[in-house]
Amino acid sequence: MAEIVKMPKMSDTMEEGVIAVWHKKVGDKVESGELMAEIETDKATMDYESFHEGTVLYLGAKEGEAVAVNGILAIVGEEGEDYKALLNGAQEEATEEKKEEKKAEPQKAAEKIDTSNINAEIVRMPKMSDTMEEGVIAAWHKKVGDKVEAGELMAEIETDKATMEYESYHDGTVLYLGAEEGSSVKVDGILAVVGEEGADYEALIKADQQGGTPDDEPTPTAKEESKQEEAKSEPISSGSSSNNTSGSNGRIKASPLAKKMAEERGIDISLVKGSGDGGRIVKRDVENYVPSQQAQAPAQEAAAAPAVQLPKVVGEESFEEMRVSQMRKTIAKRLSQSKFTAPHFYLTMEINMDKAIEARKSMNEVSPVKISFNDMVIKAASVALRKHPQVNSSWLEDKIRINHHVHIGVAVAVDEGLLVPVVRFADSKPLSHISAEVKELGGKAKNKKLQPEEMSGNTFTISNLGMFGIDEFTAIINPPDACIMAVGGIKETAVVKDGQLTIGNIMKVTLSCDHRVVDGAVGSAFLQTFKSLLEDPVRLLV
């Protein structure tokens, strides 16, 4: 009897797997325990062995394609068996689940409101900057019932970058204002309704809320879009002027187009006399402006100055786009979640490594494996965690887990991102054991041979970039840990010892802490213990 083979969850964070290689194709015989596929998870590429015996009737994805956890990976059964009913049944089950989700959503009104006879138009909040999501009404220059003409100042809108003027693109009567002064309106939200006096604007708004743009709303012309772009690009200028174009707050009252024209022509707009509403400077004022002799003199001097000739640089823009691997997706998701969920704070400490350098040299003379400074850091951290268990903890929303075992995660850089193999019970292992284990785990990580159990269970993580010449850095906490320690390189620097200036070997470490679990005093006490162990490394051997 045919059976569906589902995508297994090969790690605690896996959401989907990518078929790296199929070792069986449709029609092949497969036995229980036989290699069927290689699956790329968020952490490694792993072998998938079949738990079924029979003939491969169907493959759920091609090589390079992703299958969600519990999705259909394959169908295995007797040769010639009809598997389509089984496949359709699984797909129908998934469809039914989607239908149930849709039923839970509120149903929209089926009847569409006819707005063809309503002589009015919705004025929407324009996007006045590339990062703008909403605008705040700083001031309305028109109220309900007022007449408005195209090009006339209608409102001042505060964006995320500046307060800008909004000029109407419609002629008619203001029938409705979408927000009061000081209130915000989202981009493309209803700013106002302008049209024929007495028009049924409420039906127009209701039709818009029902979904989509009303049928009678025209698409803005190229000219309107151009004018709107000009309005977007010009924030309100501040300044003072001696003529009547300045408001009570010293701001020059001028349209965005007038300001742009004045800037392009090198005209000081504060010298232009406005003929618009309330002395506002408009386009024709700039076009008709005749500068005085005094104002012309600097312009003539500037024109006489020789122009700087810049050499032409010829280049070609190019780029390449790469597929995001499962590992990189998971790194992005988990570290973003950590950074934006856990309130990080950072503690940095300098450690004199003179004695550690001497001790390492002596230990390597008798050790069966070469001990590195990173091995000493792991050992010192694990011993310090035993004395400060609050640092060796996890945040679990409604409770804090304090771990009594010490499992150190060691960040290892690989081609596709970062893996964190775990040294278990590091506080109970001698330095030579830690050194050998870290080398073995590091080799497996680079060759993508790590097993899930070798990458899980960490209670504290260490990230060391000292071998790359980095003096100090801050690391993002690796969930579910409460802390991560960033280790810099050892650097010769001037230090004061016994009142004398001398050369010392200094290493900086930075502890990133989750403030929900670890307080500053607790983290500082841990670093003091860690520092004392490395500055007197004999204590690591006890």
Active site amino acids: 515, 519
Query: In sequence order, what are the residues at sequence separation of 6 or more whose Cβ sits closer than 8 angstroms to the Cβ of residue 14?
Result: 41, 42, 43, 69, 330
Measured at the CA of 122, the angle between CA 131 and CA 186, to 5 degrees, comes to 25
- As given in the structure block, the two tokens for residue 450 are 């790590």
Measured at the CA of 504, the angle between CA 356 and CA 489, to 5 degrees, comes to 65
Say if residues 483 and 450 touch (Cβ distance below 8 Å): no
Q: What is the 3-state secondary structure (H, E, C) of 351-416?
A: EECHHHHHHHHHHHHHCCCCCCHHHHHHHHHHHHHHHCCCCCEEECCCCEEECCCCCEEECEEECC
Work out the number of other CB atoms within 10 angstroms of the CB of residue 366: 7
- As given in the structure block, the two tokens for residue 32 are 């229980």
Q: Can you tell me whether residue 498 is helix, strand or coil?
A: coil
Q: Can you tell me whether residue 259 is helix, strand or coil?
A: helix
Q: Can you tell me whether residue 68 is helix, strand or coil?
A: strand
Burial of 433 by CB count in 10 Å (0-12 exposed, 13-18 middle, 19+ buried)? middle
Q: Can you tell me whether residue 87 is helix, strand or coil?
A: helix
> Distance (Å, rounded) from C-alpha 133 to C-alpha 126?
10
